[in-house]
Structure 1
Amino acid sequence: MKQIKIAFNLEPLYIPIEQILVTKFLAEHNRYARKYKQIKASIIEVGIIEPLSIFEIQSEKQMYSLLDGHMRFEILKELGFTEVPCLMSTDDESYTHNKQTNRLATVQEHLMIRKAIKRGVNEERLAKTLNIDVRYIKSKVNLLNGVCPEVIELLKDREISQQVFFILKKMKPIRQLECVEIMLSVNNLTVNYAKALLVATNPNFLVTPSKKSNKNGTSSDAIKKIENDIAHLHLQYKSIEQDHAQTTLNLVLAIGYLRKMISNNNIKNYLAKYHSDLLENFESLIQLDSFNSK
């Protein structure tokens, strides 16, 4: 069995700031961004959680190249840190770490907040740490209450609006699962699409059936038909996508054959004399292929 090479040493090192060289400079406007303020507030409140990623410069003694964490590095300098925790990379590729990093999914964020509160961190401190309104924390804590486990499992790695969960909670579990499967099949996890599915839901599958009449005159059957049509179109698209590679290969082979055929003067003269329209189309295809290849 082939061994997997570990990209970083597991134990963090504390490196003096002056021994770290940045590989890119942080734009001035980033210092006023919400993300910058959140990270700064987090470091002030609970300290540095994620170490920086560095690589030792072979030509320079005790000097290191910063691979990932430029924003944290600038904040630490601003706060007066003299040493910073770092993970030593075994590869000097500055994009490797970022490629293997997934942005925090909505469900994972909820679980992290719940875990922090369970450990004794109160909501006010969390809000201060993340530089956000405490009401946002409260909404995150209760995010998955009323959402069926199967839906949570399907969405656990997705970064989506929490409003989608609030819409799903208005439906019974079986309808929640059906809607999420439709949303995933068409790769549309937006709030508007979730709202459309809610409108198309039979009142029997709602937690609290709506008593409001449809002011727009659009029946739920019509919306259901649109929903099914979109799902059908997505399946057709996926089928075309799967055949695209083979179709492209066939086209390349066909154009190659046409190019070779037209290069024969006898064939070209015959087509020009008796089938000029075909020759014109063949030459157009060859020219178009040559243009796209540039």
Structure 2
Amino acid sequence: MSNRKLSPDKTQPIYVPNNTFLDECVRVEIINILPLKVLRPAVKESTKYHQILASIQDVGLVEPPAVTPAPGTSGQYFLLDGHLRIEVLKDLGELKVDCLVATDDDTYSYNKRTNRLSAVQSNKMIVRAMERGVSAERLGKALGLSPQTIRQRFRLLNGICAEVVALLGDTDCPANVFNLLRQMKPLRQIEAAELMIGNKNLSVLLAKALLAATPPDQLVMIKKPSQDHQVSAESMARLERELAALQMQIKTVEEDYGPDVLHLTVIKGYLTKLLANAAVVRWLARHQPEYLKEFQSIAELTELPWADNGPEDDSQSTTAEG
């Protein structure tokens, strides 16, 4: 949903999205947080659980769980995201936790748009932690990454102009794309980022193609290409044809993608509410366990299976579940 307003010169309409969450976190007693899914007992033996446990013990809770007020109750909340984090906090003896409070209970939209930290958001999280004195070694231990990877993430936005950071800040742009954009001058960085967003293609392959097509005077360091690495006019023409064909493929996929997402959203929302009923879960577990397993898999989806092109995330929000 969005509000329709006029631009400052009152000539063009602009759309301002409504806030999905309250501006400030709310401190909630863990006993008043009602989970929307049942965790399997074996989850406490999983690598994911132990990563979150080590992270919280070492650097504290990085991302608050997301909740929404339970209708007809006072002080109770449904847990939209953060089931493993809440379970870890319970095991650590915590009684209260700061939560993001959603203004609706649309768990699909939350997980689809917010649950996975982008490369830019991950960089900001790491920078903030290291500025507070947390070493790369401690962060690496907490997030299950090597100290070298943490330092690379820390330097991710070096040489990237602020406009590009703003453009790609909320996207699932892979970290390696920034390494390629860094080789371009600011204006070319902006142009490349806008082309990638316009084509709805944030892949490393397209970033490499744009870098190869960048005139030498728009590169940060102008290198005289060797004969083996010179891009011929024929190669550039072939690249342009491939990009045009790719755009046609994207349009074809988009025609089916919208209805598929709508169907998945409706089905997932229904199953999530169905599985919030403990009696239904018990009946399914007793009589139709195979159905329960499939229903839970659908309810836990954060994106369509074939749309997993985003970067692997390593914060508590990714190591944490849906």
TM-score by length of 2: 0.57
Match of 1:23 in 2: 36
3-state SS of the aligned residue for 2:26? coil
Work out which of the two has the higher radius of gyration on C-alpha atoms and give 1 or 2.
1
Corresponding position: 1:219 with 2:219: no
Match of 2:26 in 1: 11
Corresponding position: 1:199 with 2:212: yes
Any gaps of 5 or more consecutive residues in structure 2?
4-17, 257-322
Compared CA separation, residues 57 and 111, structure 1 to 2 (3 A): closer
Decide whether the 8 Å contact of 1:185 with 1:234 is kept in 2: no
RMSD: 4.1
Deviation at 1:95, TM superposition (A): 5.1
3-state SS of the aligned residue for 2:97? strand
Compared CA separation, residues 45 and 223, structure 1 to 2 (3 A): same
Separation in 2, partners of 1:89, 1:179: 35
Deviation at 1:43, TM superposition (A): 1.0
Residue type of the partner of 2:198?
A: S
Separation in 2, partners of 1:191, 1:235: 16
Decide whether the 8 Å contact of 2:30 with 2:96 is kept in 1: yes
Match of 1:53 in 2: 67
Match of 1:111 in 2: 124
**After alignment, is 48-57 or 181-190 more displaced?**
48-57
Match of 2:95 in 1: 83
**After alignment, is 21-30 or 109-118 more displaced?**
21-30
Compared CA separation, residues 67 and 149, structure 1 to 2 (3 A): closer
**1:227-266 equivalent positions in 2, closer than 5 A:** 227-229=239-241, 232=244
Out of 181, 187, 204, the residue aligned to residue 200 of structure 2 is 187
Out of 117, 121, 145, the residue aligned to residue 158 of structure 2 is 145
**After alignment, is 160-169 or 181-190 more displaced?**
181-190
Decide whether the 8 Å contact of 1:52 with 1:85 is kept in 2: no
Residue type of the partner of 1:103?
A: R
Separation in 2, partners of 1:105, 1:10: 21
Deviation at 1:7, TM superposition (A): 6.1
Compared CA separation, residues 120 and 180, structure 1 to 2 (3 A): same
Decide whether the 8 Å contact of 1:202 with 1:220 is kept in 2: no
Compared CA separation, residues 77 and 159, structure 1 to 2 (3 A): same
3-state SS of the aligned residue for 1:12? strand
Cα shift readout 1:223-272 (whole Å, capped 9, x = no counterpart): 4324444555577789999999xxxxxxxxxxxxxxxxxxxxxxxxxxxx
Match of 1:274 in 2: none
Corresponding position: 1:32 with 2:43: no
Separation in 1, partners of 2:189, 2:253: 28
Separation in 2, partners of 1:186, 1:98: 24
Compared CA separation, residues 146 and 43, structure 1 to 2 (3 A): same
Separation in 2, partners of 1:220, 1:185: 26
Separation in 1, partners of 2:19, 2:168: 30
Deviation at 1:133, TM superposition (A): 1.0
Corresponding position: 1:41 with 2:41: no
3-state SS of the aligned residue for 2:67? strand
3-state SS of the aligned residue for 1:13? strand
Out of 152, 157, 166, the residue aligned to residue 179 of structure 2 is 166
Compared CA separation, residues 177 and 220, structure 1 to 2 (3 A): farther
* Percent identical residues: 35
